[in-house]
A and B are shown apart, each in its own frame.
Chain A
Amino acid sequence: NAGVTQTPKFQVLKTGQSMTLQCAQDMNHEYMSWYRQDPGMGLRLIHYSVGAGITDQGEVPNGYNVSRSTTEDFPLRLLSAAPSQTSVYFCASSPSAGGELGYTFGSGTRLTVV
């Protein structure tokens, strides 16, 4: 039981490049979400999904796309990377949207945009 797996762990992009951050969970959780964490600003919700085929925007969705074709996977796409997207990105999952059993987080992807 691997939990939530994020790849890559580190990435450097040039401004304007695109890339996909991968997130996979093996706990059959319905709810998955993406956060970014910046110093002094805590975790901010980018996008979330309450089940396969259903996604919605969080607090800071601009510049990011998501899709949820399977229960297990929830990739985050950066369309045209900007220095402001330099951050640590966390994927989290939970059995339900309410999160009464807590969220399980991945170990994060540290992204630098130059």
Chain B
Amino acid sequence: SQKIEQNSEALNIQEGKTATLTCNYTNYSPAYLQWYRQDPGRGPVFLLLIRENEKEKRKERLKVTFDTTLKQSLFHITASQPADSATYLCAPRYSSASKIIFGSGTRLSIRP
């Protein structure tokens, strides 16, 4: 079965720096991979989707990469702000499945 691994330890970053979160998967590559943000007591919010044939995707201060050789997606937040503090979830979707599975998330804390 497919496994998704996100760093379970919280990531603490100084404001203004670039935060990089990792999502690793096993076995075969997903057709695409989504990233979500979740704030305490709230449901996840969709941020970005990157497809298997895309190396990189950008949206404002967010950048996502997809490396099928390393079986890894990286999620970057540039010029990080305290308001970026949240838990970030990766969610790959495999073309053979009709559902998306979620990683357990990485908690990001941006200190002023």
Contact = CB atoms under 8 A, between A and B. Distances in A.
Interface of A: 4, 33, 35, 40-43, 45, 48, 50, 56, 58-59, 90, 92, 97-108
Given A42-B104, A104-B46, A105-B44, 14 more contacts: A4-B43, A40-B104, A41-B104, A42-B89, A42-B102, A42-B105, A43-B44, A43-B102, A92-B43, A98-B98, A100-B49, A103-B46, A106-B43, A107-B42
B101 A45 contact: yes
B34 interface: yes
B100 A99 contact: yes
Contact of B32 (A43, A100, A103): A100
B8 interface: yes
Given A40-B8, A40-B104, A45 B46 contact: no
A102 B46 contact: yes
